[in-house]
Structure 1
């Protein structure tokens, strides 16, 4: 169950960043509220995953999911550049996250 909590925490991190972007510097009320709620849920699920997972592994995977997911959201929704270098370094994060999962 801890891995499911960690996945939910990562999704919360990604959605929090999406709503943070949409809040336009906390000027839009609904996206601001959603960013705060998403961030809170992300931390809550992360805390649940830490009951059974090592902190370094859980934190590394949580930030990896958030980072990769946020980059993909930027590319898909906000038309950010998806050049070879950027995708290469995102794949390095994915490899690191998979590696952390394999050694836990």
Structure 2
């Protein structure tokens, strides 16, 4: 259950990061509310996961999901570059997160 909670925390991190960009572009209250809710839920699920998982592993996986997901969201919703080099780097970050799970 801790790993599921950690993945959910990472997905909410992506929501929060995406809303930072949306708030910067649009300046509306809906983006602000979603930003606060996204990061709030992310920290809630991260803290739950850290009751079981080692701090270093949980934090690394959480930031990896957030960074990779943020890059992917930028490519999908904000027309950021979709170069193969970026895709390889995202795959390496996600591969490292999987490796941490395998060895934890």
Shorter-chain TM-score tier: over 0.9
Tell me the equivalent position of 2:56. 56
Superposition deviation, residue 85 in structure 1 = 1.7
Using the TM superposition, name which of 9-18 and 23-32 deviates more.
23-32
Superposition deviation, residue 27 in structure 1 = 2.8
Tell me the equivalent position of 1:95. 95
Q: What do the CA deviations read for 1:48-93 (whole angstroms, capped 9, x no partner)? A: 0001000011000001111111111111111110112211211110
Alignment of 1:26-45 (within 5 A): 27-45=27-45
Superposition deviation, residue 26 in structure 1 = 8.2
RMSD value over aligned CA atoms? 1.4
TM-score when scaled to structure 2?
0.93
Q: Which runs of 5+ in 2 are unaligned?
A: none
4+ runs deviating over 6 angstroms = none
Paired residues in the alignment total 104
The separation in 1 between residues aligned to 2:83 and 2:26, in whole angstroms, is 30
Alignment of 1:55-74 (within 5 A): 55-74=55-74
